[in-house]
Structure formats: C-alpha cells, structure tokens
Amino acid sequence: MTQLLNRLVMFVVLLLVQVLVLNHVWLLNVATPLLYVYFAITFPRNTAKGEVLVWCFFLGLFIDIFSNTPGLAAGTLTLIGMGQTYLLELFVPRDSVENLETSAATLGWGKFSMLSGILALAYCLVFFILEAFNFFDWQLWLLRAVCSAALTLVLMLAIESVRSK
C-alpha cells in the first residue's frame, strides 16, 4: 500500500516537474532533461512486468497531453519500462532479496549509474528519433539525444544521492 502511494506521489511530482520546469530547459540549444525516465528505472525488482508497463504508459501519456505530443513519450517510456525489467536482472547482485529496491544504495553507485545511463540514453535516442521521425539531420539528433541523456543522468544521480542519505 505504501509502495503504491509512493509510486503515485512520484508519478505526480515527476509529471509536474517535467511539464512545468524541465520541458522549458534547453541547455545550449540541444539538451532537454527528460527526468521522468527515473520513474521507469526505479521499479523494484519483483514488480510484475505488466504493472511496470501500465505505469510507464500512463506517465508517458500524461506528459504527452501536456506537451502536445500524443503517443511520443507514452510509446517510448513503455519501451524503456519493458527494457528495465530485463536489464535490471543483469545488474542485481546474485544473493540479493526478491523485492530489491532499485537505487544507488542497494545496487552500488557504479552499477546504478550504468543501468540508468543505458536506459536514459536508450530513451533519448528513441524519443528524439520519433520526434523528428526521419534522419533529417542525424548529427543533430545524436547530439541532442546524447546531451539530453547526460543531463538526465546527472539529475537522476543528484536525486539518488539525496535519497540514499
């Protein structure tokens, strides 16, 4: 029950932070932090895959509704949610508990950064290619995706370091 409540609070906070603040950030004309990926990354280990997908889809959809891009974030975040459930298995220590929390404190900083780095980069690559929808300028696309992913990762690690205290 508390877990559900936690998720719900996180959902609303990430949604509002993204649409009211971060969507307007555009560092050096290339990087926009897409912090809501953090939502998909932090699902605990034993969460049912279907549950992860539904959560991710709806967070994406709400973000889409606010930023006038229906289907874009919803589709991409669902994909990343799916990826998280499989990728996480590669990162958890062998003798860990079933319902392991996904955080820097339980996985260790190195593994957590690696996991979130991969997922954030994958998210940004898919997101920006769907947004442009053709390779009109693949260098700009790559630059935007990599810079945005880096910025997102920095923000996520910042939040982790606060939460792990």
Tokens of 99: 């319902």
Is there binding between residue 12 and other proteins (CB under 8 A)? no
Amino acid, single-letter form, for residue 87:
L
- The sign of the dihedral angle between the CA atoms of 131, 159, 85, 54 is negative
**14, 34, 37, 72: which one binds other proteins (CB under 8 A):** 72
Within positions 116 to 155, which residues make up the interface with other proteins, using CB under 8 A? 130-132, 137, 140
CB of 112 to other proteins, least distance (A): 24
Distances (CA, A) of 113 to 19, 87, 108, 138: 25, 13, 9, 26
Distances (CA, A) of 20 to 13, 17, 49, 79: 10, 5, 30, 24
Is there binding between residue 66 and other proteins (CB under 8 A)? yes
Classify residue 100 as left (phi > 0), alpha (psi -120 to 50) or beta.
Answer: beta
CB of 20 to other proteins, least distance (A): 5
Within positions 23 to 62, which residues make up the interface with other proteins, using CB under 8 A? 23-24, 26, 29, 32, 48-50, 53-54, 57, 60-61
Which residues would be at the binding site for other proteins (CB under 8 A)?
20, 23-24, 26, 29, 32, 48-50, 53-54, 57, 60-61, 64-72, 74-76, 78-79, 82, 85, 130-132, 137, 140
